[in-house]
Each structure stands twice: as C-alpha cells, then as structure tokens.
C-alpha cells in the first residue's frame, strides 16, 4: 500500500519512513505511527508522520 494517501495511514500502523537527512541516500526507518503531520489528503513524496520513537519523516511503505 502506498504512503502517499493520508487515508491509508492510521495511528498504530507499522511503516517505513525516510527522514529528511536520509532523502538523498533513501535509508528507511521502521516504526509505529504516533501522529499524522500532513493535513492534505495526499502528498507525492509521502505523508509526513511522527513515529512513537519521536522520529519524523515521510511514509515510503506500509508494513502492516
């Protein structure tokens, strides 16, 4: 499932995100969504979320 649609993402969902400093390398960070930060229905680079670990980034893939 794509991380570009806000409707696909809910708090408590396990996702892979890319942090701002990792955008060039494409390094992914796995975690559980605590909060959705993007207000629009979709975003071409992925919906921005805050993980339970406090890390902020854009969702690249939904793990489950």
Q: What is the pLDDT of residues 20-40, one digit of tens each?
A: 999 999 999 999 999 999 999
Can you read off the two tokens belonging to residue 28?
A: 């992914």
DSSP three-state, residue 36: strand
Query: Given a cut of 80, is residue 1 above it in pLDDT?
Result: no
Of all residues in the chain, what percent carry a pLDDT higher than 70?
100
pLDDT at 50: 98
pLDDT band with cut points at 50, 70 and 90 for residue 13: very high
pLDDT at 17: 97
Domains and CATH numbers, the chain: 6-62 (2.30.30)
Distance (Å) of CA 39 to CA 15, 17, 26, 43, 53: 18, 17, 24, 9, 21
């Amino acid at each position: 499932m794509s991380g570009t649609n806000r409707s696909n993402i809910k708090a408590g969902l396990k996702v892979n995100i890319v942090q701002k400093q990792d955008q060039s390398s494409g390094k992914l960070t796995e975690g559980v969504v605590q909060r959705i930060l993007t207000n629009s229905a979709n975003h071409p680079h992925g919906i921005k979320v805050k993980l339970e670990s406090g890390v902020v980034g854009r969702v690249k893939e939904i793990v489950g």
